[in-house]
Each structure stands twice: as C-alpha cells, then as structure tokens.
Chains A and B, each alone.
Chain A
C-alpha cells in the first residue's frame, strides 16, 4: 500500500470494496451444476482404441480422398480426352523448356544485344503494353508486382 501512496495517492485512499455480487446461494449450487457438466464430459470420452489405428486413421482418410479424386477426375480425362490435345499439351511444355534452354545458354552481351535490337515496326506503343498487361495479368498480380 505504501508504494501506492507514492504513485497514486487518490487511488490509495479509496476503499477496496468489490462492487460485484453474486446471486443467492451461487457457490452452494455451483458444485452440483458443474457435476452435471462433468457427467456429460465423462460420457463423451471415447473408448480406448488401438493406438496404431488411431494414428493411421487420418492417413487412410487422406489416401482414400486422393484415390476418389483420381477416379473421378484424372482417369476419365486420360481415357476420354482426344490424343491430339494430350500431344499438344506435351508439345507446349517442351516448347517452354526449349525456350528456357535457349535463354539460359545466352551469354550476357548477346542477351543485352537482343534486348536493344529493334526497328521502328517492332517498337511497342503504350497502348500495346497496356493491352498485353490487361490480357495476361489480373489486377491483384499487377498490384503485387508494384508492391514488390
């Protein structure tokens, strides 16, 4: 209390009475009401199961989910998709990796030469750039890039 007299003299003079009260017989009844809750709690406690099964259950569930997704999506697509589309997808993938190989193989000076190379017809206007960005990026992606 002495420390309070120095830092908060007005507060130290107030009576330390609690302004809260409880309903009549609250504490007499509390234990009985709690017991009802605990009885319900005891009924909910699951029976002992095999520890191994308890750990495996989530993994089995996950595996089953993947199997179902596979059966419903991938297998029909693979079976019923025209083979040309499948080949085109593969071709596109190959084209991407080929392009990357070319770029990675370039030395620095050749790379910068390519960037600076331009004639009048190849120059992009602002409108061309805006149209390109609009077609290829969402507003959120644009925002993200600006922020970075």
Chain B
C-alpha cells in the first residue's frame, strides 16, 4: 500500500497523469471518508455534499501536497474540517447557541430517510450527539472506526494523551446517558 501510494502521489503531481490518478484516489478512499463524514453530520445528503467538497478541495491543492503526512491522513483532515465547518455554518444559520449542536444534529438524524437503527442505536447516537464536537470526533474514530490513537493524533493534530482523556470522558458520558435512559 505504501509503495502504491508513493506512485499515486507521483502521478497526482504529474499534469499528464493527474486525472487518472485522481480517479484512483477517489475510488480508494471514497467509502472510508464517506462513513467518517456521515458519522459527524449524520445525514446522507449532507455527507454526500461534504464528500464531494472534500475531493474538490483535494483536487485544488493536490499540487501542493507536501507528503509530510500520508495521503489518507491528509484527506481525512480535509474531510474532518469540511464537516466541522458545515456544522458550524448551520449553527449560525439556525441561531443555535454556539455550544449546542445536539438539537441541530438530532434533527438531521431523525429526518434522514437512510437511518435504520433500532431503539438502542438511536439512544447511542443521541448520547454521542450530546458530546462536544471534538469529543464526538474522537469517540467516533476510536469506537466505530477503531483507529489507533497515533493515527487520530496525526489527523486531529492533538496529543495522544489528550485523545485518551477525551475518549474516556466521552465513553463515561455515553455510559451515563444509556444507563439513565433505560
């Protein structure tokens, strides 16, 4: 994978090979990025928009990709930032208090025709939605995507120690919520 990616990066920076290389990039990462975005914004239509914006942004800046991180980390970072920007801009539009995205996100979740969870999964999503944005991100990446702390650290540019603390707090809050709701 590492060798393939190196060649892919070379092709992406070559104007003659960029189109085909970018198509390969999209095919390789679209699903992982989609699910990462979807867990943040909860709604399929929004996730679709954000995924497209992520790749458009990547296309625009692929020539400047500095290879300090892997392609995957770089794309993940763009996707995360796009998702958070989307949530924040919708908070402003609907005059929701800056610290409270849960109502906006719950509306997104219950109005989504592509949500098929049972009662327990709905409760779990409710609990996750009540977490602060960064904590929610960390929880999703660790719990659902089962990423290593070191990978998460590279994407979110946060120390491993801080991430562990974030995850523990998030898990405890969710545990409390699930216990109280049953």
Contacts and interface: CB of A to CB of B under 8 A. Distances in A.
B34 A27 contact: yes
B115 interface: yes
A47 interface: no
A129 interface: no
A49 interface: no
A22 B112 CA distance: 11
A30 B56 contact: no
Interface in B18-41: 22-23, 26-27, 30-31, 34-35, 38-39
A32 to B, nearest CB: 10
From DSSP, what is the main secondary structure of chain B's interface residues?
A: helix
A143 interface: no
A80 interface: no
B171 A4 contact: yes
B44 interface: yes
A47 to B, nearest CB: 15
Contact of B44 (A10, A11, A22, A27): A22
Contacts of A34: 26, 52, 55-56
B51 interface: yes
A38 interface: yes
Contact of B175 (A8, A19, A26): A8
A21 to B, nearest CB: 5
Given A11-B174, A23-B114, A30 B59 contact: no
Interface string B150-179: 000000000000000000100110110011
Among A18, A19, A23, chain B packs the most CB atoms within 10 A around the CB of: A19
Nearest to A19: B117
Contacts of B51: 30
B171 A20 contact: no
B52 A11 contact: no
Contacts of B179: 10
Given A30-B26, A37-B52, A21 B116 contact: yes
B65 interface: no
21 contacts: A3-B168, A4-B171, A8-B171, A8-B175, A9-B175, A11-B124, A11-B175, A14-B120, A17-B121, A19-B117, A19-B121, A20-B35, A20-B42, A20-B44, A20-B117, A21-B114, A30-B51, A31-B30, A37-B52, A38-B59, A41-B59
Given A7-B168, A8-B175, 5 more contacts: A7-B175, A11-B174, A17-B117, A18-B35, A20-B39
